Amino acid sequence: MINEEIFKAYDIRGIYPDELNEDIVYKIAQAYAKLVQPKRIVMGRDIRLSGPSLWKAAAQGLTDHGVDVIDIGVITTDMMYFATAAYPDVDGGITISASHNPKEYNGLKLMRKGAVSISGDTGIEDIKKSVIEGYAYKAEKPGNIEQREIINDYLKKCISMIDISAIKPLKIVANGMSGPIIEIVRKLSLPITLVALNEEPDGSFPKGAPDPLLKENQTETSELVKTSKADLGAAWDGDADRFFLFDENGRWIPGYYITAFLGADFARKISGAKIIHDTRLTWATKDMVKEAGGVPLENKVGHSFLKERMRKEDAVFAGEMSGHYYFRDFYYADNGLIPFLIILEIISKSGKMVSEIFNPYFSKYFISGEINTKLNPNQHATDILAELEKKYGDANIEHIDGLSIEYSDWRANIRTSNTEPLLRLNVEGKSQVIVDDKTQEILSIFRLS
């Protein structure tokens, strides 16, 4: 029996080996080959302990189907995006990764040619159907497996998006979350001193889930920034497609503020630039992008949705408060290394500390931080959202993603999780007092429902 819950909105993910194992991955690879009909694809993986055997199973499913496989080794997810877009002989890609999930998980991220992700709306449901129906195919001529080193080409692409000569000597605390990203940063030979945390790749994730959004994972980086007197702190998740920033005082910089800041930076450089952001928190991005001469556009959360909208609008940049940042010049895909390099370039040229750049955001745009509430078995998200919409019926209401409620002095977004029985709440307001008051008011409705 296959647990259909492993087929998510953006990828395929489950606990190894109970929910996701070599047999299931072989079938998924076969179904992918049926859907995409590729001649040759690239395949990589993150550092999870189950990665090598699952990679081998997926490669077998592909080669049995007659597909040639290019092994690009242990990679970051954005290296997979690069490989599917930069090499003309590649028709798609698969990376074996569960991103920021705990060590017992693994998964597959599936791509077509040109860094176009396969999501629930664009193929994962078809793959699920083929797997459940027992699709199997063996070509008369099996595919081949070859190896290709892509790191130098990838780094050349990332560097092309900044003025690397402008970067001045800086001291940086870098938390790799036990992934390969710090080794990749070192290959750039930047004029920086790295104080590395969790540098050695370790798929057992000895310090817990490789997710810098977890409060308990921020303390180590923050404290080391302060004790080492670093200019900033940087962190990435397990597959390094998300970037996180700390100022020189060890203060965490929310992804919301980074989206607004980078969006405004691109808008100043490119007249009329379209900047896409998610609906959870919006005021800072709208204000800063408009002030810089750009056009802010709200969109549903999720990398497949943002990439699709970026291509449609030819947007220059997109950002999510979760730490995903997307770039037109990187194939409309997200990348965790490029925002790091852009920040280094900006602070080097401006001479400002990270705190100076972001203090205006902290003093003007007050936020709750994302609050996740687990629903009881007898609770239904649709009922709660309907009750909230009725209570705040005099507000400006939007349904771009979940429910957005907006007044002149505060705003909230409530949406269901794509992967868990959770309601996710974000509140912003003109003061922290207002934010705290409205957060508790909305949470009380959650509890009463």
* Percentages (nearest 5) of helix, strand, coil residues in the chain: 40, 25, 35
- Separation CA 114–CA 106 (nearest Å): 24
- Separation CA 238–CA 1 (nearest Å): 29
- Separation CA 221–CA 213 (nearest Å): 12
- Separation CA 76–CA 109 (nearest Å): 12
- Separation CA 69–CA 79 (nearest Å): 16
DSSP 148: -
Q: What is the per-residue DSSP string for 110-142?
A: EEETTTEE--IIIIIHHHHHHHHTT-----SS-
- Separation CA 235–CA 78 (nearest Å): 15
- Separation CA 387–CA 406 (nearest Å): 16
Q: How far is CA 401 from the centre of its chain?
A: 17
Of 146, 30, 144, 38, which Cα lies nearest the Cα of 91? 38
Residue among 50, 97, 99, 322 flagged as catalytic: 99
Q: Which amino acid is at 250?
A: G
Would strands 116-117 and 105-112 be described as parallel, antiparallel, or unpaired? antiparallel
Q: How far is CA 42 from the centre of its chain?
A: 20
Spell out where 237-294 has E strands: 243-246, 252-253, 274-278
Pull the structure tokens for residue 330: 């990187």
Q: How far is CA 61 from the centre of its chain?
A: 27
Give the three-state DSSP class for 322.
coil
DSSP 375: P
The sign of the CA dihedral 154, 157, 163, 165 is positive
- Separation CA 212–CA 180 (nearest Å): 15
- Contact by Cβ (8 Å): 233, 259: no
- Separation CA 174–CA 351 (nearest Å): 21
Instruction: Determine whether 355 is an active site residue.
Output: no
Q: Which amino acid is at 243?
A: F
- Separation CA 126–CA 93 (nearest Å): 17
Positions annotated as catalytic residues are 99
